[in-house]
Amino acid sequence: MLHENLKAFPENFLWGAASAAYQVEGAWDVDGKGVSNWDKFVRIPGKTFKGTNGDVAVDHYHRYKEDIALMAEMGMKTYRFSVAWARIFPNGSGEVNEKGLAFYNDLIDELLEHNIEPILTIYHWDLPQALQDKYGGWESREIVEDFRNYCITLYKAYGDRVKYWVSLNEQNIFTRLGYQTAMHPPGVKDDKLFYQVNHHASLANAVAIKEFRTYVPDGKIGPSFAYSPAYAATSKPEDILAAENAEELSNHWWMDVYAWGEYPKASWEYLERKGLAPQVEKGDFALLKEGKPDFMGVNYYQTTTFEKNPLDGVTMEGTFNTTGKKGTMEDTGIPGLFKTITNENLERTNWDWNIDPQGLRIGLRRITNRYGLPILISENGLGEYDKVEEDGTIQDGYRIEYIRTHLKAVQEAITDGVEMIGYCVWSFTDLLSWLNGFQKRYGFVYVNQHEEGEHDLRRIKKKSFYWYKEVIESNGENL
Ligand code: BGP
């Protein structure tokens, strides 16, 4: 529907930005931190763009006060950050590292002193390597107990001050890239294991939420799901079915479990026939049902368009664009179910990500209709090259346009009746992009950090910084 007048953003709307420990902190071996799976993975030649790693990242560990001062200057209402498990438990379990606990304590206090609501992500992909070595990390059900212990430690330490929590960040991405495409640690390609690993992660997510009710009864918690709503390439029924298959196997496979504690039917039947369905033990579904979140966290970047894929069609082997050379992304799919196809109606970034604000509105409505949960947009933003002009400014009008149109879509969704908690832009400062180095930038604040050459890590406010400041000040009135 076309709206003549849009509803205003809610009074207490959380305007913010997000980050993740590995991508900003640096200080990878400082103050007793243990080694994470990413600390190890990035050292394998050829895994990341030009061999970049998070050893220093943007040194937020040492510069968080400067960064939070900038957030306050911008008027940010919330900051979503993640805790590095290996800072709290260098070995994943066992003895607590007090210095690690102290770091996030100080960070949280600093945020609160500046009236910025902390949103704490418990797990944003950096697993203590010790657990990978001990029992294969997510490959073993043993991880559920270690994760429970880690969560309870965080709830006890920070639950008095942190009221918004994200359990797992993009479970669908870290399991798929870790175990289906081998692009993330531990770099495995094994479909059967992928579904099993994912099941363990779902159990861990449910345990995290269950324990949360005891330790932080007045808080809110939910997962952050990487939602790419599925479109059909044409109105041909076989393409519509392909898109349905994709929506179910790539999206509902996770969101149904979060919201209802159930796997979607047709996908379960399909995986069982293929011998790929996860092994489920007695009590698993009861536990999953107990882990109902307070909100659905949504990380939205783009929609994906699908068409029919024959039984001998393309697989998940296609190249992913991690170089920033437009047009290098290849189609992927699952034979007999679906394959991706370029959507000619959409513009793309230099990393071949579709730019589709309307897709966000569509996605928000789908979630609302299916699950009836409030939504926190825990990530949305534009990764692009930025250039420091001779006068020292960064004119990122393209980023302003991206965020403005997506915010407009959020407002349209609000007008449609979607209950929105807040909106976190990815990201506040520039940071390390897992596979794409430092050249793919997302921040409102430029950080002088590069793959090669000069990198004094100085912070420069981009044009978008001043723009977002005004958006926040006016509570989104002048988009
Ligand atoms: C999400 C992750 C973030 C962030 C973002 C941008 O999937 O949760 O950690 O990296 O995507 O992705 P990229 O860095 O690949 O451009």
Give the atom of ligand 1 at the shortest distance from the alpha carbon of 440: 16
Residue 379: active-site member: yes
Rounded to 10°, the helix 357-371/397-416 angle is 30
Identify the active-site residue in 139, 211, 379, 412.
379
The whole-model pTM stands at 0.97
Nearest to 190 by CA among 256, 244, 242, 138: 138
Output the pLDDT for position 86.
Answer: 98
Per residue of the chain (479 residues), give pLDDT as tens.
Answer: 887 899 999 999 999 999 999 999 999 999 999 999 999 999 999 999 999 999 999 999 999 999 999 999 999 999 999 999 999 999 999 999 999 999 999 999 999 999 999 999 999 999 999 999 999 999 999 999 999 999 999 999 999 999 999 999 999 999 999 999 999 999 999 999 999 999 999 999 999 999 999 999 999 999 999 999 999 999 999 999 999 999 999 999 999 999 999 999 999 999 999 999 999 999 999 999 999 999 999 999 999 999 999 999 999 988 899 999 999 999 999 999 999 999 999 999 999 999 999 999 999 999 999 999 999 999 999 999 999 999 999 999 999 999 999 999 999 999 999 999 999 999 999 999 999 999 999 999 999 999 987 789 999 999 999 999 999 999 999 89
Does the model's ipTM exceed the 0.90 cut?
A: yes
Q: Smallest Cα–Cα separation from 460: which of 473, 479, 441?
A: 441
CA distance 249 to 266: 9
Residue of the nearest CA to atom 13 in ligand 1? 433
Question: What is the pLDDT, as a whole number, of residue 454?
Answer: 74
CA of 155 to the centre of ligand 1 (A): 26
Alpha carbon of 47 to those of 56, 430, 437: distances in Å?
Answer: 18, 21, 11
Task: Report the alpha-carbon distance of residue 80 to residue 416 in Å, rounded.
Answer: 26
**Contacts with 187 (C-beta within 8 Å, 6 or more apart), sequence order:** 41, 44, 47, 178
The amino acid at residue 151 is C
pLDDT at residue 463, rounded to an integer: 98
Ligand 1 neighbours by CB, cut-off 6 Å: 20, 23, 169-170, 173, 226, 299, 379, 383, 426, 433-436, 440
- Please state the length of the chain: 479
Cβ neighbours of 131 (radius 10 Å):
26
Q: Which runs of consecutive H residues, i.e. helices, occur in 216-283?
A: 237-246, 253-260, 265-274
Q: Is the peptide bond before 140 cis (omega within 30 degrees of 0)?
A: no
What pLDDT was estimated at residue 386? 97
d(CA 108, CA 104): 6
Query: Cα(111)–Cα(119) distance, rounded to whole angstroms?
Result: 10
